[in-house]
Amino acid sequence: MKFFVSALVLLVTVAATYAADVDGTWTGTVQGPFGDVPVVFKFMADGTKLTGSTTSLDGSEVQIMDGKVDGNSITFNVTFDFGGGMPFTLSYKGLVSAEQIKMSSDVFGTPVEFVLKKAKA
């Protein structure tokens, strides 16, 4: 029984430590109809809460909303406003590993997948 409790405590500690690896700046590219578009995300995890920002096409910073960390998975929303009072919200999902985050989203029914790499400090 002591072994089981010790293993469980170790597993929870490792999972909590692993979740913190999302912190920092992550970069990548998304394939678009007119070529690759660079993307930058800044993440900060606090337990199961994920906050941060990304950069809009016009260069402005857009805050991450409803961010969650669940083990090695992250989910969040970003709302872009391209003017005209018509905000556009994208929902993202990511699978975090030590070297990269495999991201996915859905844009008007079209699945979009891309990979982020952690930027060097």
CB 55 within 8 A of CB 38: no
Residues 41-79: tens digit of each pLDDT: 999 999 999 999 998 878 889 999 999 999 999 999 999
Q: 3-class SS at 33?
A: coil
Q: 2 pLDDT band (50/70/90 cuts)?
A: low
pLDDT at position 40 over 60: yes
Average pLDDT over residues 3-11: 42
- Looking at residue 97, the DSSP 8-state letter turns out to be -
- Per-residue model confidence (pLDDT) at position 39: 93
What are the start-end ranges of the E strands in the chain?
24-32, 35-46, 49-55, 61-70, 73-81, 87-96, 100-107, 110-118
Both tokens of 68, joined, read: 């969650």
Q: Which CATH number fits domain 2-118: 1.10.3470, 2.30.110, 2.40.128, 3.90.550?
A: 2.40.128
Q: What's the sign of the alpha-carbon dihedral 81, 74, 46, 99?
A: negative
